A and B are shown apart, each in its own frame.
Chain A
């Protein structure tokens, strides 16, 4: 998505540097799969959970660390072929949230605290785990394809938004995003998906439709992350990645786009 006028251009070099240095690391991990990918995903999940906890605290919520930390188990289940037990883990998280929810510090707004804890573990851990799942199920090609579709749209939205963005998409949510950026996002994602659909063994039409759905899911992920930040009253979720804010800022679209792509690839192929 795009950050139009709100983002000064001086953020660009750091942003570019992060993409140039960071993206190859993630791409290489996806290519290698196995332990390398799991390690990278675990680091990302860990960092994102810390950011999420900070975000929640800024919003006045007190998610239990034990519940949030449980989110780390999702990528492990995915890597060990135990994804059938993901539901069990969700139940365990709910039980843990209930157990920690009766603490005096959380009793007052029990629902909000417990909900924030389970959501964080599931949002960060369960969604990130799909990167591992997709790599194990489909091999590197289709996962790189999904990432390319999500990121190409993201970059196009940013570049077009900075230069031509006029009409604001969601001023209350994320003032930097423009309608022009959104159009560029979906168009470029569709074009990239169509041009490279051979990677997943699809004709261009199916590739385009899937690419649009995955890119749209990415937009939802981006806006949702903005909404979370807005509700907490912060601008960036962290400063791990220069120019990008935190891991959540950079992977917001991937977090929602990859799981949607994972299931679409399974059902449409």
Chain B
């Protein structure tokens, strides 16, 4: 698997048509480490550097929403030591990066079932969300303990409860109502969905929201993902015709 991305300076993109919302499935930390004889946790650590690079690049390019798939509802099935290491790393990253995110004008949002997380981590997330809530430069949306189906189930329950309580009529449940009941309420749908690693599947990520997202599979493990790869993905995205089911004219 190639390590270095295309030379960032050599990829030309149209700065006026940068995707509004970029979502990334950050896959391959463990395999990156395995290929180097290192423990998986070291891969997650290197993955954090890749996140830092990507957030900075997206902000600089004018992406308005960046959603990162950090930990899925299925990831709990991994070995306890790895889950623990991941959570510790997340917590540490949150503590260390909060200031810088805020300074860069980035608003942090975390989507997913936070009830499953440690109370200290939950508190920290709430604090950083509150600190950065008025920032305008970019929304950094972290999908944590997130599952696309769980997202939909939760929305359905919420809408059903409103109907039962008489606060909403059955006919009022439309696409907008469902979208508004999802974790991502208020955010535009992703335009470009990137997955690193070698897999080519959605893995229960933003199932509803990604209905018309352009998919891009980068042939690198996440820790090696850099600005060059991001630009290549955006350039590829800009060459596609987005028709949203209609015919092109």
Contacts and interface: CB of A to CB of B under 8 A. Distances in A.
Interface of A: 34, 79-84, 133, 136-137, 139, 263, 265-267, 269
Given A81-B2, A139-B49, A133 B42 contact: no
A126 B145 CA distance: 40
Nearest to A137: B36
A83 B33 CA distance: 10
Interface in B33-60: 33-39, 41-42, 45-46, 49
How big is chain B's contact interface, by range?
A: 10 to 19
Contact of A133 (B36, B49, B221): B36
Contacts of A137: 36, 38, 42, 46
Given A81-B35, A81-B224, A263-B37, A269 B3 contact: no
Nearest to B32: A81
Interface string B8-44: 0000000000000000000000000111111101100
A263 B33 CA distance: 11
Given A83-B35, A83-B36, A84-B34, A34 B4 contact: yes
A82 B35 CA distance: 7
A127 B221 CA distance: 24
20 contacts: A34-B4, A79-B3, A80-B2, A80-B3, A81-B1, A81-B2, A81-B3, A81-B221, A83-B37, A84-B36, A133-B36, A133-B37, A136-B36, A265-B42, A266-B33, A266-B36, A266-B37, A266-B38, A266-B39, A267-B39
Contacts of A81: 1-3, 35, 221, 224
A84 B224 CA distance: 16
Contacts of B38: 137, 263, 266-267
A265 B49 CA distance: 16
B208 to A, nearest CB: 35
Given A84-B34, A133-B36, A266 B4 contact: no
Contacts of B42: 137, 265-266, 269
Contacts of A83: 35-37
B35 A84 contact: yes
A83 B37 CA distance: 8
Contacts of A79: 3
A84 B39 CA distance: 13
A181 B38 CA distance: 33
A221 to B, nearest CB: 19
Given A266-B37, A266-B39, 15 more contacts: A34-B4, A81-B221, A82-B35, A83-B35, A83-B36, A84-B34, A84-B35, A133-B37, A137-B38, A137-B46, A263-B37, A265-B42, A266-B33, A266-B38, A269-B42
A266 B45 CA distance: 10
Nearest to B46: A137
Contacts of A267: 38-39
Contacts of B46: 137
Interface in B53-97: none
A136 B49 contact: no
Nearest to A263: B37
Contacts of B35: 81-84
Contacts of A133: 36-37
* Best-surrounded residue of B3, B36, B45 (most CB of chain A within 10 A): B36
Contacts of B1: 81
A139 B221 CA distance: 17
Contacts of A139: 49
B19 to A, nearest CB: 28
